[in-house]
A and B are shown apart, each in its own frame.
Chain A
């Protein structure tokens, strides 16, 4: 158990040290202010002792009051020190939070980009809840640890200056209690982790039940679900009990460290008095013990047990499995999504009419053991051509688009765009949007002006884009009414209030405006009504460049130069008319989607030759596997 608890501590230690080393000045400042607090502790006890010995007990009330004024002044001084401490604290805690936030954001984006289908909002909970937890726990720890160390130093110095023998009495139980307390730390941290783990497991289970309540009730599985949750509740109770036992042990340690010295002091009083210790010194010593040390110990023990472990657990979760780096530095671990870096030839001259896309015996599977989604596919899309891809859902159409975009790398074969292998990051390291744009189904609109949203795929930024071009694209895709409604191009857009269709329109306008010679629309018009979809697709057909459309509605084929039909076994490419003759699946799809006739027989194996554009690439059969387990999720 103890090894498990020490695991994260060991993992985090080097980074924590680096973090602190980089903040030497802040630590020094914090130490300086804290020393002032030590002086306060020292002066209060010392002042009380002197007020008694030289003042009140000696019958000199004025002197006594004066010494108390000294103690009061020390208190005010302490207040000043506390202010300084909080300033230093902010300089220590806020950078930590900033760093954690940067790290969480970078990681969330990196993971989302690597696997868009699994992007979820749990990162946002990490962002708000856990970073705050870390911030508060860290601040608490710094405050309490620092306060204990400097208060103890002040008190011990005070005791020593009042009478050295006092230290002999006070120090042993204090040290013993602290040792006992330290011994509880590791097992307690382990229990705390168990407790947090149990709590998290329970939350996850409750989340599943709450989200799927309808299904639980519809399946009649209420008892089963309740029993499953019950086990988790029991596990948490067990963890809480174990934690409570250690809390009790900790209280005993506090008793030894904080309360025992008082008793020992009294027991030793005759001996101390014999040794020349005055009544005032005794009162001062008791003041140190009860007014300074005991409260500091109390907060120390309460905070270290809970906040310390919480900080460890949360930090480990936030940065533990990330790449090694400083706690506040996350800039080194962000890379664009997509393929690895392969040495590439210099970019070839590009046809102004658009890119030429070529697939040579492309095979792709989502894992070494998985069945391929594409198998030995050959395809050529000529510059300026408008190709529409159709096929049942989950067959691998989005995978094809991702391969052409270079977001996926084929397991076998080559995907060439203008003669170069397609990669996500361009050969020159520039933004891929210069070469091609891919607009997925889920249109992305961010909070910002409409203009910023439209410029998103213009690598050169707003300066490179003439105003007329923006206006032309807005008009072409039919974005005009929306622009007007939102209050012009410079109005701020709140994506939450836009419909799916409106977001898609903005994404389409953005793609239309981009300089890329190749546009891939992956069901990018699925939320538009048929008329709007037709208008948008025509706009792209009129735009110079090559266009590949993954069709959502079968109507798209009427606007295509050629159509690629994908099904579980084969791919067939050809003109609409030809395909109607050659591909039963195609006929079926067209018939079904158009809703002409209902319920006719479909689904038989289609076994046609691969159609080719006259003069296209070398002829061979292209086969496509049945939809893979991840087929309908498209790009990963």
Chain B
């Protein structure tokens, strides 16, 4: 009996992620095997097949176990019936002994086979799920942030957890679906062998059964979706109130808010009752119709018994076969499990078909200074060209500020400069080596990033700063934190650098400083700061800016900046406008241009907004 009247659409398993592929994405589908497999099959099917292949032995074993169990199930009523006939026989059950033993053996076999199948099913599901998840995460990490951006983070999690688990159930579901057909079909055949008339009665009743079941199941999806809509509205109101927590706290209106959020609870309750009513109707349908069908078989069987054409044992067997054959309805649940599996696999496969980022194996020249060159770089985002034919050379060891109005392509340039994204056209070279030809480990050792809203990893604050391609010494971590203006507030945390991240609620400014510290601790020949000081006050920003030149390992710095002071401190300013380089030069020279000054006049407002609104980190 299914006990889940509602379908959980809330976890995003309904197959629509709402984002779709960005139009500029390369659309050539690549197999989950990295393009090695060239068949016209659906990626979901290919993934499921790969999962089944990965657990081929176990899947086969489950199939065999289930088949054997089904065989025992089907043999049992006939043997049971025959044994009963022998026992009821005039000779007082003579010769029934071996048959009795056979009965016992069949029952034992069925139970044991089921137990082993249960064990194997559980472990196989776990195994394929783990396999899919590992593969999914590896792939996600290889795809990189730019191409993965088409999926929202929550959506990615669903694809890797819930969807992968459901897809991981596929091998077992395939085995289950194959064998769940065996018992009812075998029972029908056995019924026909026992008595053709009874099989005919059963078959005549089936269409009626199907029709009536359908009638009973009507309207269930409608009531469920209404229920979910009301539920969604309540959740929406709660989200609003939580976002306004400061106002609610200040106004002392918690009770009012609670009442407002729960205002539609009675309606939810009413819709909920409706779903139970609808669901109950469906249960009543199958609960009444299936026994009626077997009773009909029994009635005809009884008449044939009275006519001497059937023994008591055969009637017992037929009765049992009829109810086993009526279990054909159970196939639908197995099939729907498989369908769900496939839908889930499709969502996981969507992730796996995003092409991986390719890498070369080259190294950087050991004596390089961090000379960065962009040659004819063009970048497209969401169908819009955000960088057009950018040529730029940054001499090694210099600090370059990238300025421009919002939407002028600064962040895209920053992402491309350190290969967080690839340009649609053009090349990027570091010390003469194209970034896409570099060994990824070497690339990340030498190129560092700090962001406006960094995401921190690690169990403690110290680990979060040390997080990276390699682990710096604790002294280096603290030095980096000092340079980033983070040391003081970290020391004030309950356990200093050992404070768990979860126990260290960080403000935007503190988060930024830890992100800067992380970048400083791993600084190589190129450091890119993408709006990484926007939440710092002017004084702290100045201190960090000085530390960057004095205390952090020397190298090239590319700084996306909104403030005049940042531009003024840089050796060189790259002024972007509409995706093109408008001018490159020292700040003092550019400051003479009214248009250049206007960039900052406009930016003052925007930067202030961005600093407080906490624009998406992506």
Could you tell me if B161 and A220 are in contact, using CB atoms closer than 8 angstroms?
no
Partner of A210, one of B157, B241, B323, B445: B157
- Smallest CB–CB gap between A516 and chain B, Å? 10
Per-residue B-contact encoding for A306-322, CB less than 8 Å = 1, 0 else: 01000000000000000
Per-residue B-contact encoding for A272-295, CB less than 8 Å = 1, 0 else: 010000010011001100110000
Could you tell me if B153 and A211 are in contact, using CB atoms closer than 8 angstroms?
yes
Residues from chain B with a CB closer than 8 A to the CB of A9 are none
Could you tell me if A83 and B3 are in contact, using CB atoms closer than 8 angstroms?
no
Partner of B280, one of A83, A225, A249: A83
Residues from chain B with a CB closer than 8 A to the CB of A589 are 538
Enumerate A437-488 residues with CB–CB distance to B below 8 Å. 437-448, 456-457
Query: Counting CB contacts under 8 A, is B593 at the interface?
Result: no
A273–B245 Cα distance when bound, in Å, is: 77
Residues from chain A with a CB closer than 8 A to the CB of B120 are 244
Query: Counting CB contacts under 8 A, is B272 at the interface?
Result: yes
Enumerate A593-628 residues with CB–CB distance to B below 8 Å. 593, 595, 598-599, 601-603, 626-628
Partner of B507, one of A116, A208, A394, A441: A394
- Smallest CB–CB gap between A464 and chain B, Å? 16
- Smallest CB–CB gap between A255 and chain B, Å? 3
Query: Counting CB contacts under 8 A, is A574 at the interface?
Result: no
A87–B272 Cα distance when bound, in Å, is: 11
What is the interface size of chain A, counting residues whose CB is below 8 A from a CB of the partner?
186
Residues from chain B with a CB closer than 8 A to the CB of A425 are 252
Could you tell me if B507 and A207 are in contact, using CB atoms closer than 8 angstroms?
no
Could you tell me if B492 and A370 are in contact, using CB atoms closer than 8 angstroms?
yes
Query: Counting CB contacts under 8 A, is B138 at the interface?
Result: yes
Query: Counting CB contacts under 8 A, is B104 at the interface?
Result: yes
Partner of B261, one of A109, A307, A552: A109
Could you tell me if B420 and A218 are in contact, using CB atoms closer than 8 angstroms?
yes
Query: With A82-B280, A110-B254, A283-B316 as given contacts, are A440 and B246 in contact (CB-CB < 8 Å)?
Result: yes
A495–B133 Cα distance when bound, in Å, is: 37
Residues from chain A with a CB closer than 8 A to the CB of B515 are 215
A137–B268 Cα distance when bound, in Å, is: 18
**Complex: chain A residue closest to B540, CB-CB:** A392
- Smallest CB–CB gap between B431 and chain A, Å? 18
Residues from chain A with a CB closer than 8 A to the CB of B451 are 214-215, 218
Query: With A128-B10, A234-B130 as given contacts, are A101 and B265 in contact (CB-CB < 8 Å)?
Result: yes
Partner of B238, one of A105, A139, A221, A433: A105
Query: With A57-B312, A220-B469 as given contacts, are A112 and B245 in contact (CB-CB < 8 Å)?
Result: yes
Stretch of A24-32, A73-81, A352-360 with 4 or more beta carbons under 8 angstroms from chain B: A73-81
Query: Counting CB contacts under 8 A, is A348 at the interface?
Result: no
Could you tell me if B565 and A82 are in contact, using CB atoms closer than 8 angstroms?
no
A303–B3 Cα distance when bound, in Å, is: 9
Query: Counting CB contacts under 8 A, is B520 at the interface?
Result: no
Query: Counting CB contacts under 8 A, is A247 at the interface?
Result: yes
Could you tell me if A140 and B4 are in contact, using CB atoms closer than 8 angstroms?
yes
Stretch of A155-163, A331-339, A378-386, A556-564 with 4 or more beta carbons under 8 angstroms from chain B: A331-339
- Smallest CB–CB gap between B198 and chain A, Å? 14
Query: Counting CB contacts under 8 A, is A410 at the interface?
Result: no
Residues from chain B with a CB closer than 8 A to the CB of A424 are 249, 252
Residues from chain A with a CB closer than 8 A to the CB of B538 are 392, 588-589, 592-593, 602
What is the interface size of chain B, counting residues whose CB is below 8 A from a CB of the partner?
169
A71–B298 Cα distance when bound, in Å, is: 11
A392–B533 Cα distance when bound, in Å, is: 13
Which of B247, B257, B507, B510 lies at the interface centre, i.e. has the most chain A CB atoms within 10 A of its CB?
B247
Query: Counting CB contacts under 8 A, is B336 at the interface?
Result: no
Could you tell me if B240 and A495 are in contact, using CB atoms closer than 8 angstroms?
yes
Query: Counting CB contacts under 8 A, is A51 at the interface?
Result: yes
Could you tell me if B245 and A244 are in contact, using CB atoms closer than 8 angstroms?
no
- Smallest CB–CB gap between A443 and chain B, Å? 7
Could you tell me if B141 and A507 are in contact, using CB atoms closer than 8 angstroms?
no
Could you tell me if A212 and B11 are in contact, using CB atoms closer than 8 angstroms?
no
Query: Counting CB contacts under 8 A, is B454 at the interface?
Result: yes
Per-residue A-contact encoding for B28-60, CB less than 8 Å = 1, 0 else: 000000000000000000000000000000000
Per-residue A-contact encoding for B258-293, CB less than 8 Å = 1, 0 else: 101110010011001100110111011001100110
A446–B242 Cα distance when bound, in Å, is: 10
Residues from chain A with a CB closer than 8 A to the CB of B140 are 209-210, 213
Could you tell me if A270 and B255 are in contact, using CB atoms closer than 8 angstroms?
no
Partner of A263, one of B103, B279, B295, B522: B103
Residues from chain B with a CB closer than 8 A to the CB of A497 are none
- Smallest CB–CB gap between B289 and chain A, Å? 9
Query: Counting CB contacts under 8 A, is A226 at the interface?
Result: yes
Per-residue B-contact encoding for A104-148, CB less than 8 Å = 1, 0 else: 011011101110111111011001110010011101100110000
Could you tell me if A136 and B418 are in contact, using CB atoms closer than 8 angstroms?
no
Partner of A123, one of B108, B242, B288: B242
Residues from chain B with a CB closer than 8 A to the CB of A229 are 133-134, 137
Query: With A82-B280, A270-B87 as given contacts, are A216 and B457 in contact (CB-CB < 8 Å)?
Result: yes
Could you tell me if A119 and B510 are in contact, using CB atoms closer than 8 angstroms?
no
Query: Counting CB contacts under 8 A, is B600 at the interface?
Result: yes
A394–B276 Cα distance when bound, in Å, is: 53
- Smallest CB–CB gap between B405 and chain A, Å? 15
A235–B207 Cα distance when bound, in Å, is: 48
Residues from chain B with a CB closer than 8 A to the CB of A500 are 609, 613
Interface of B is mostly: helix
Interface of A is mostly: helix
Query: Counting CB contacts under 8 A, is B211 at the interface?
Result: no
Query: With A213-B145, A240-B126 as given contacts, are A437 and B8 in contact (CB-CB < 8 Å)?
Result: no
Could you tell me if B265 and A241 are in contact, using CB atoms closer than 8 angstroms?
no
A68–B201 Cα distance when bound, in Å, is: 16
Could you tell me if A299 and B1 are in contact, using CB atoms closer than 8 angstroms?
yes
Query: With A116-B245, A336-B254 as given contacts, are A225 and B107 in contact (CB-CB < 8 Å)?
Result: no
Could you tell me if B133 and A233 are in contact, using CB atoms closer than 8 angstroms?
yes
Per-residue A-contact encoding for B131-173, CB less than 8 Å = 1, 0 else: 0011001101110110010010110110011000000000000
Query: Counting CB contacts under 8 A, is A259 at the interface?
Result: yes
Could you tell me if A527 and B247 are in contact, using CB atoms closer than 8 angstroms?
no
Query: Counting CB contacts under 8 A, is A411 at the interface?
Result: no
**Complex: chain A residue closest to B612, CB-CB:** A526
Residues from chain A with a CB closer than 8 A to the CB of B111 are 251-252, 254-255, 259
- Smallest CB–CB gap between B355 and chain A, Å? 15
Query: Counting CB contacts under 8 A, is A371 at the interface?
Result: yes
Query: Counting CB contacts under 8 A, is B397 at the interface?
Result: no
Could you tell me if B243 and A247 are in contact, using CB atoms closer than 8 angstroms?
no
Residues from chain B with a CB closer than 8 A to the CB of A72 are 291-292, 295
A291–B298 Cα distance when bound, in Å, is: 13
Residues from chain B with a CB closer than 8 A to the CB of A129 are 8, 10-11
Which of A78, A105, A395 lies at the interface centre, i.e. has the most chain B CB atoms within 10 A of its CB?
A105
Stretch of B301-309, B360-368, B388-396 with 4 or more beta carbons under 8 angstroms from chain A: B301-309
Could you tell me if A128 and B235 are in contact, using CB atoms closer than 8 angstroms?
yes
Query: Counting CB contacts under 8 A, is A248 at the interface?
Result: yes
Enumerate B219-249 residues with CB–CB distance to A below 8 Å. 231-232, 234-249
Query: Counting CB contacts under 8 A, is A542 at the interface?
Result: no
Partner of A217, one of B4, B141, B609: B141
Enumerate A56-70 residues with CB–CB distance to B below 8 Å. 56-57, 59-61, 64-65, 68
Residues from chain A with a CB closer than 8 A to the CB of B138 are 226
Query: Counting CB contacts under 8 A, is A260 at the interface?
Result: yes
Query: With A128-B231, A226-B138 as given contacts, are A136 and B5 in contact (CB-CB < 8 Å)?
Result: yes
Residues from chain B with a CB closer than 8 A to the CB of A269 are 84, 87-88, 93
A287–B312 Cα distance when bound, in Å, is: 13
Query: Counting CB contacts under 8 A, is A490 at the interface?
Result: no
Could you tell me if B288 and A76 are in contact, using CB atoms closer than 8 angstroms?
yes
A218–B107 Cα distance when bound, in Å, is: 61
Residues from chain B with a CB closer than 8 A to the CB of A52 are 302, 305, 312, 315
Query: With A263-B103, A266-B84, A437-B250 as given contacts, are A109 and B262 in contact (CB-CB < 8 Å)?
Result: no
* Beyond A57-B306, A438-B250, 6 additional pairs, beta carbon < 8 A: A65-B299, A109-B257, A213-B153, A236-B129, A262-B103, A627-B489
Listed A/B pairs (10) with beta-carbon separation below 8 Å: A48-B319, A86-B276, A87-B276, A110-B254, A244-B120, A249-B115, A269-B87, A445-B244, A595-B564, A595-B604
